[in-house]
A and B are shown apart, each in its own frame.
Chain A
């Protein structure tokens, strides 16, 4: 108690009243009222300005986030659509390329076949004409040969026989008959051979 009375007196604070002696759980009216005033002032500031601003900002932020998410979803959907379109186009292009390739192959095959046909036709035509020509040449050669052989043998025979047979009416008949016999093989080789030999020998002799 000595201390209690001592301090305020020495420090010189509030020595004139007993406020300092009051129990610490009894309020000072000034402090209590000021506490209320302080709360009221800050409450006005907070409820009028601070909290509305913050709430508004939260709403904005929520909207911004939701908007952003929506935007992202849209972008994704767009990208998906683009991808699908691209794939469809790619598929189409592949089909187109395949079709073109098939066409080209078919066309090429048909061209080759046509060419081959043409070539064959040409070849057969050439062969045909060559054959014809050969036939004709052979025919003419045969005719010519026949005439020549006829002339030669006639001359030969006339020389051997020693008389001219040209003027004879039967002359041609003899030759033709001879040739026909020659062709049919009726003339005996020995006889003809012997006759020919004999004729040749006699020809040489004469």
Chain B
């Protein structure tokens, strides 16, 4: 959140509730700019639009005259692309079929990377993935892709059959079959989106807490609380760096898992 956005609920709370400290709430992540309800133009939508515009512009600009000897911008794009292409796609999916998934994984990775980092980059400072709609959208893409390629490659019956491990004693299957199907069709996408959402949401919440708390203590507290408030700001700074690491890590994990699910769907044996 930008400083003003952070300050607004706090000040409102301070004046409205007669001066008590009001901790940040999940509701504050809902920030409609135009309209309201399900179809409102919200702040994360704007951030997401900006990020897509920036990414598209950067990628196009740096690859426009892609040369054998890279320029600085091209070098950055190349490093990211090579990372997704070789370390994620090729190593996990295998050198035979990875190439057609590289654009999707690269898109996924760049969207996640930029949007996650927006969580701590001023003046945006809003974690888009802290709104569950976006992780669900990306998970939906991954979900559809890996089931589609799996069914297309093996046929529906073989694909579903391939999920069940073979060679187990009969009664175990009563337990295994629903578990495996649950894992493949419900748990995997659920955890994929919730992991990303939870990390971004909670991390940002923590930052909000330390910043608004510090602000309140410095402004309204007694002399001792003012020092505590300063400590709270230091803590917020440290956590911001920590949050940056988590943001990178989550972008990586999401893409990694997407590649893993695709690889599992394409794998010949379970």
A: which residues have CB within 8 A of B? 2-4, 6-8, 10-11, 13-14, 16-17, 19-22, 24-36, 38-39, 41-43, 45-47, 49-51, 53-57, 60-61, 64
Contacts and interface: CB of A to CB of B under 8 A. Distances in A.
A145 to B, nearest CB: 121
A45 B56 CA distance: 7
B52 A19 contact: no
B41 A64 contact: no
Contacts, number: 169
A39 B138 contact: yes
Interface stretch (B12-20, B117-125, B158-166, B237-245): B12-20
Contacts of A14: 30, 32, 36-37, 40
Interface stretch (B102-110, B146-154, B180-188): B102-110
B77 A50 contact: yes
B134 A31 contact: yes
Contacts of A61: 68
Given A3-B13, A54-B78, A42 B22 contact: no
20 contacts: A3-B17, A3-B22, A3-B23, A4-B25, A7-B12, A7-B28, A10-B15, A31-B42, A31-B133, A34-B48, A34-B133, A34-B137, A35-B133, A39-B107, A42-B111, A43-B107, A47-B104, A50-B81, A51-B81, A54-B66
A4 B23 CA distance: 10
B44 interface: yes
Given A8-B27, A28-B40, A55-B99, 14 more contacts: A3-B17, A13-B32, A19-B32, A24-B29, A28-B30, A28-B131, A30-B41, A32-B137, A35-B133, A35-B136, A46-B106, A47-B104, A53-B66, A54-B81
B103 A36 contact: no
Contacts of A43: 103-104, 107
B60 interface: yes
B248 interface: no
Contacts of A19: 30, 32, 36-38, 40
Contacts of A20: 27, 30
Q: How large is the interface on B (under 10, 10 to 19, 20 to 34, 35 or more residues)?
A: 35 or more
Contacts of A46: 59, 103, 106-107, 110
Contact of A38 (B25, B29, B49, B64): B49
Contact of A35 (B102, B110, B138): B138
B55 interface: yes
A26 B13 CA distance: 26
A32 B136 contact: yes
B63 A28 contact: no
Contacts of B49: 34, 38
Contact of B27 (A7, A16, A53): A7
Contact of B59 (A11, A41, A50): A50
Most B-side CB within 10 Å, residue of A8, A31, A43, A56: A31
Contact of A11 (B12, B23, B63): B12
A35 B138 CA distance: 7
Contacts of A39: 107-108, 111, 137-138, 141
A42 to B, nearest CB: 5
